[in-house]
Amino acid sequence: MTSALSFATLSLAALSLAALPFAALPLVAQSTDGPRIDIALPTATSNMTVRLRNAIDGGRFEELLRNGFDVRVHMRVELWKMGRFFNDVVAREEWDVIVHYDQFDQTFDVARLEGDNMVSPLGTYRRLADAKAAVALPHAPPIGRPGPGQRHYYSVQAEIETLDLKDLDEVSRWLRGELAPAVQGRKNPGTALGRGLRTLASRLMGGEVRRLEARSSPFRVRDDGGK
């Protein structure tokens, strides 16, 4: 039994080590046209802004979007204060941007959701490229401004996923043992299983969930409000 884990783990280790070069490749794209988060620090006259560029480029987002699966971009901004020993979160804001394809009008709806029930439409577009541009609009979350003196930095996380895939992710659910509807209403169980297999493979290899993270440079707000 002592070697029991080794076979499994070494196989997975070899798989993961083989995948490392491929995992590193997207970094090159990040520096040019890949998905990325831009953080603009607050100034004396403006709040910080976050811009998520190229969020749904590549992958299968476009195909899934055109097949009726909304894309959700969940954004979280945290303001961290640098202490002597620990860093602390002093403020946090979250919002969503939803992209929905209307099959009848063949248009893309984009909307931002903030707070409990605040919905800000970002437009309806005929072209996906235009909808992507709406997703990439800079946003100034009401996160507040850090006080003068101490050093702070912003941390931003974005999670881009295709909604409703939870209904299809059958195999993943077998493995996790969760109770959630795999098949709702008229969906065919066999189809769901097939799509679940494809989804699991897709997620393992790079599919419909994308996570990005960015951190600003540490900054200190002066007593006059500048940085």
Partner 1 sequence: MSYHRLWLVLLVALLPSTLHAQTRGEPRAGRVPNSVSSAVISAYNNPATRKVEGRFVLSVTDTVAGTLAVLGGPVTVGGTVLGDLVVINGDMRLDSTAVITGSVYVVGGVVFNRTRGRVDGDMQVWRSRLTYRSDSGRIIAEEDQTMLSRYSRWREGPGADLKDIIIASANSYNRVEQLSILFGPRLRLNRGESRFTLEALGIFRTGDRLSWERENLGSRLLAEFRQGTEQQHFALGVRHTDEVDAVEKWSLSAAESGLTSLLFARDYRDYWNRFGGSAFVRVVPTGALEFTVAMGRERWDSRDARNVFALFRGGRDWRANPGALEGTVNLLSTTARIDTRNDRERPRDGWLIQAEYERGDMDISRSPNPEELALTAPNLTYGRAFVDARRYVRIAPLTSVNIRVVAGGLVHGSALPPQRQLSVSGVDALPGYAFRALGGEPDVAMCNTLPESTFAERGRPASCDRIALVQAELKGDFRVALFGADKRDDDRRWYADGLRADGSWVVFANSGRGWLTGPRDGGLTYPRSAIPSLSTFRSDVGVGVDFGMLGVYVAQPLSGATTTPRVFVRVGARF
Residues 128-187 that bind partner 1 (CB under 8 A): 130, 133-134, 136-137, 153, 155, 157, 170, 172-185
User: C-beta of 167: minimal distance to partner 1 in Å?
Assistant: 10
Tokens 């600003």 found at: 216
Residues 6+ apart with CB under 8 A from 147: 221
Q: Which two tokens stand for residue 145?
A: 């401004």
| C-alpha distances out from residue 84 to 88, 96, 139, 170, 219, Å | 11, 34, 31, 47, 15
Which position among 18, 205, 223, 224 is part of the footprint of partner 1 (CB under 8 A)? 205
User: Interface residues for partner 1 in 76-115 (CB under 8 A)?
Assistant: 76, 78, 80, 82, 85-89, 92, 96, 98, 100, 107, 109, 111, 113
**Minimum CB distance to partner 1 smaller for 181 or for 223:** 181
Beta-bridge partners for 37: 52
**Minimum CB distance to partner 1 smaller for 38 or for 145:** 38
User: C-beta of 145: minimal distance to partner 1 in Å?
Assistant: 19
**Minimum CB distance to partner 1 smaller for 54 or for 223:** 54
Site for partner 1 contains 44 (CB under 8 A): no
**Minimum CB distance to partner 1 smaller for 111 or for 145:** 111
User: C-beta of 14: minimal distance to partner 1 in Å?
Assistant: 10
DSSP characters for 9-56? HHHHHHHHHHHHHHHHTHHHHHHTTS-EEEEE---SSS--EEEEESTT
**Minimum CB distance to partner 1 smaller for 78 or for 145:** 78
Which position among 66, 213, 225, 226 is part of the footprint of partner 1 (CB under 8 A)? 213
Residues 6+ apart with CB under 8 A from 115: none
Tokens 């969930």 found at: 209
Instruction: Kindly write out the interface string for residues 11-30 of this chain, putting x where it contacts partner 1 by CB under 8 A and - elsewhere.
Output: xxx--xx-xx--xxxxxx-x
DSSP 84: S
